[in-house]
Structure 1
Amino acid sequence: MAQQLNGKSAAAAAADHLAFVEDAISDLKEQLTDLKQSSNMTEAQYRQVNDSITELLKTLRGREDDILSMIDGNPYSHYNHVQSTPQTNVLVLASMRTGSSFIGEILNRNPKVLYAFEPIKQLMLKDGAPTLPFRGANQLRDFYACDFSSPDLKKYLDFYNSLAPPSRLDYVKAWVNKDNCKLKLSGYGWESCKRISADGATKSCRKYDIRAVKIIRIRDLSMFTHLMADPEVNLRVLNVVRDPRGMMSSVMPLHLNNYQVISKRVADRVLSVDHFNKNPGLRDRLKAYCDSMLRNYLLGQQPWFPRGRHMVIRYEDAAYDPRGMAAKIYSFLGVSMHGNVLRWLDVNTNIGDNERDLNYIYSTRRNSGQTAESWRRKVTFDLAEAIQNTGSCREFMNTMGYRIVHSAAELLNQSLSLVSPRQF
């Protein structure tokens, strides 16, 4: 019988304690920033201590699953048997600041999944470059075939090998293990990791029945229809969308800060239509987002489009019901869900936000239900109206079930949800 701690199982209590420790480490990083500003600490000293704290935090997050799996009475253990399935390849297709990292983690936390983060970025091509869609699609095909000897996929592998152990966790978590990395003498954290050869990466890749990639630099679904129709690739696409008003409320603070890492306090600044009008790049980004995501949806409705290969995911639905969305995703993929996924969701979607956390904007650790429509406090009605009237955004919003607001009162009325029930 599972040991109980204050009405919770040992595993659930341990998960709470891990979250508490992570928050404490994050607070320590903020105190370090304050100390630097109020003392004679040099930049070199600050970077050394800050890097050590960052590595400790990443190490703890990387070992959450291992720690919890060793606890008796683990309430998630009965999910851990994943039935063998035919090779399944997954593409998380999205745009910037739409919740794709959250959806990606639902896959990444499954030890049966080989998950790669943004390999297309290492092609070193600008967004909109004419060759990017073609080379990106070819690189993905090579990844799903586990051909790491291909020139474009080798660029990703070379980049991965250049990273320190904690950063490798952000790109291919599955390869940071005792086979490839050396533990520190303390037993906590990785001291170093060896280079992974193309042959080694290929052999490792072939052990996984599920291979997944997340990209935000190619948003055109039509570039992947040949992979979806090819029975050897068996590609399934998770197309993540978000209310464009919420997406822009997240993009704009980054844009106004030159896409540098920012804290929650900065991310939550109130945004006006002046910010939008004075930065043409924001309007261009918004128009491209609405156009591409509407086009993707309409493409998926065509009678000749591969059936059962494309799933539209509204970020808001995942935020309000993370477990339910995870179940839908794994059902769509035709595989069973691992307990690590549910454990990660339980720990990481019900925590408070640290307004000074400099990693907040890129973090997947949030109170997801509060995040779904929190943008309404940050956007003025004039800005919301400008977003609604840009390009095809109004048609996209109507198609996706995002309610149009006609007044400031509607925008601020928290009892009125702007996300209508919708089946895709």
Structure 2
Amino acid sequence: MRVKYTISVIFIVALVIIEKENNIISKVSNKLSPKLTPLMLPGEPVSASQGHDGSAVSIITHTDIPPYGHTKRCVENFTESFTERSSPASTAGGRKHILLLATTRTGSSFVGEFFNQQGSNMFYLFEPLWHVERMLTVETGGTNATVAGPAYRDVLRQLFLCDFSLLESFIEPPPREHITTSLFRRESSQSLCEDPVCTPFVKKVFERYHCRTRRCGPLNLTLASRSCMQKQHRTIKSVRVRQLETLRPLAEDPRLNMKFIQLVRDPRAVLASRMVAFSGKYENWKRWAADGDVPVDDDEVRKLKGNCDNIRMSAEIGLRQPPWLRGRYMLVRYEDIARFPMSKAADMYSFTGIQFTTQVEEWILKNTRASREASGVYSTQKNSSEQVEKWRFTIPFKLVQLVEKVCGPTMTLFGYRFAENQEMLTDKSISLIEEKTFL
């Protein structure tokens, strides 16, 4: 009788979990199938054109000109090329679509600038999936991997095709007539702060993320789409994709010519950096570092292990070069970039098949020899070679041991040597980085 009761309880719990998962998926499905307002060019009949995926295509109308001082000329000069959206990448003039994959505190903002600084032929977006993660976290109480993976993939696909409509459904507050004042870190994308996307500045309109080098009005996503289509190449940086496997449909999409660059860093250095940058979220780690015993079964430790495992599994898939990834995947260590920024940047450009310009070279030279004052925790201006060893003197040995225990297989794969004792950890003459080549 007790066995039957136990089985019944397990069955009921399973049904509850499945129902909850279905509810979450249903909510996100609604986001991924937004009801779009058709936008038409002035003078054209009001009808919804069909895009590459069968959804309504966005074209701007005369009545959609927003009250932010955007000129009629900006709208009338807008002409979308939907032929390009539905054409295979092979006919799109050698266009490359590059996704820079990383986790937080791995130097991804710095590396992203290698592509952001490319100039007029590169459309670069900085962490657009921030909005997706934020919305999913608010609606579901946490980032559910089953739901987040497909959502991230679908938003990325549309962005690489210069379609911002799906991303709009995740932005809060919702864009008004395809105009937003809240796109995360807009200022980190040169493409979103240059003409014609940079529209006249509007007084008394608060923008959370405004362009740094010039004053621009709220971001017109229709103009951003037009700019994107005019660029030869497109790059997106993201620290939110957990598994490379979820992006397989992008690699197999004939409209895209995908290149994946996975950036990794010594997990001991990542932890040390996060304890400083995200201090409030690492109170347990700071307590353990000060005077407490480190519990190996704590949720924070399990989270660390899960992150390391995800990074390793993605890298193992990439390094195996399955048919869908052949010639599309590159693994780069932050430590190698920090020590040899120019040569590693050249390697990445060679991998993507894009010309390595003098503009990028000049930026690297300037920003890898930065002064101490310019090297804050979020700065892309750093004396990069100093960053490689800095963590070894800021984190206690007992935390190093814990990271090595739960992230050992990941460290071994990427060529990070274990510190056998405190003396070895802080001895600069001993390198903890193996010279390793990733094909």
Q: TM-score, normalised by structure 2?
A: 0.67
The whole-number CA distance in structure 2 between the counterparts of 1:85 and 1:353 is 43
> Where does residue 372 of structure 1 map in the other structure?
388
| Structure 2 residue 422 is the aligned partner of structure 1 residue 398 | no
Structure 2 counterpart of 1:387:
403
Q: How many residues align?
A: 325
1:227 pairs with 2:250: yes
**For 2:272 and 2:263, how far apart are their aligned partners in 1?**
17
Aligned pair partner of 1:290 in 284, 302, 308 = 308
Change (3 A) 1:166 1:226: closer
- Per-residue CA deviation, residues 103-123 of structure 1 (Å, 9 max, x unaligned), is 111111111211111111112
CA drift of 1:316 comes to 0.2
Please say if residues 98 and 247 of structure 1, whose CA atoms lie closer than 8 Å, have aligned partners that are also in contact: yes
Report the residue type matching 1:337 in the other structure.
F
Could you list the runs of 4 or more consecutive aligned residues of structure 1 that deviate by over 6 angstroms after TM superposition? Answer: none
For residue 176 of structure 1, report the CA deviation from its aligned partner: 1.1
- 2:311 maps to amino acid: M
Alpha carbons 1:139, 1:153 under 8 Å: kept: no
1:245 aligns with 2:268: yes
Q: CA deviation at 1:192?
A: 3.6
Of all paired residues, the percent bearing the same amino acid is: 29
Q: Using the alignment, how far apart are the partners of 2:418 and 2:324 within structure 1?
A: 30
In the alignment, is the contact (CA less than 8 A) between 2:126 and 2:186 conserved in 1?
no
Over the residues paired in the alignment, what is the CA RMSD in angstroms?
3.2
Equivalent position of 2:377 in the other structure: 361
Q: How does 1:14-413 map to 2 (within 5 A)?
A: 86-111=94-119, 112-123=121-132, 124-126=135-137, 128-129=143-144, 130-150=146-166, 152=168, 155=171, 158=175, 161-163=179-181, 168-170=186-188, 172-179=189-196, 180-182=198-200, 190-198=214-222, 200-258=223-281, 271=289, 274=292, 277=295, 280-300=298-318, 301=320, 303-354=322-373, 360-390=376-406, 393-413=407-427
Rounded Cα–Cα distance in structure 2 between residues aligned with 1:273 and 1:404: 23
Kindly state the Cα deviation for residue 135 of structure 1 after the two structures are TM-superposed: 0.9
| Superimposed CA distance per residue, residues 86-135 of structure 1 (whole angstroms, 9 cap, x where no aligned partner) | 11101111111111111111111111211111111112222632311101
Work out whether residues 91 and 214 of structure 1, in 8 Å CA contact, stay in contact via their aligned partners in 2. yes
AA of the residue aligned to 1:92: L
**Cα contact 1:90–1:213 (8 A) shared by 2:** yes
- Alpha-carbon deviation of 1:282? 3.5
Gap change, CA 1:189 and 1:212, over 3 Å in 2: closer
Greater relative CO, 1 or 2 (CA 8 Å, sep 6+): 1
- Paired with 2:184 and 2:401, the residues of 1 have a C-alpha distance of 42
Residues 256-300 of structure 1, C-alpha deviation per residue, up to 9 Å, x if partnerless?
33489xxxxxxx999558496599454233212210111012112
Q: Give SS of 2:150's match.
A: helix
Contact (CA 8 Å) 1:381, 1:407: kept in 2 or not?
yes
Look up the match of 1:422.
Answer: 436
Structure 1 residues 362 and 282: alpha-carbon distance in aligned structure 2, compared to 1, 3 A threshold? farther
The TM-score, its normalising length taken from structure 1, stands at: 0.69
Give CA deviations for 1:362-396 in whole Å, capped at 9, x if unaligned.
11111100101210001122111111001xx1111
Return 5+ residue gaps in structure 2 as ranges: 1-91, 203-211
Pair member with larger Rg? 2
Query: What letter is aligned with 2:333?
Result: R
> 5+ unaligned residues in a row in structure 1: which ranges?
1-83, 261-267
C-alpha separation between the residues in 2 aligned to 1:272 and 1:422? 35
- Alpha-carbon offset, residue 190 of structure 1: 3.1
| Alpha-carbon distance in structure 1 between the residues aligned to 2:291 and 2:414 | 24
**Residues 315 and 269 from structure 1, CA distance in 2 versus in 1: closer, same or farther, beyond 3 angstroms?**
farther
Task: Please say if residues 181 and 219 of structure 2, whose CA atoms lie closer than 8 Å, have aligned partners that are also in contact.
Answer: no
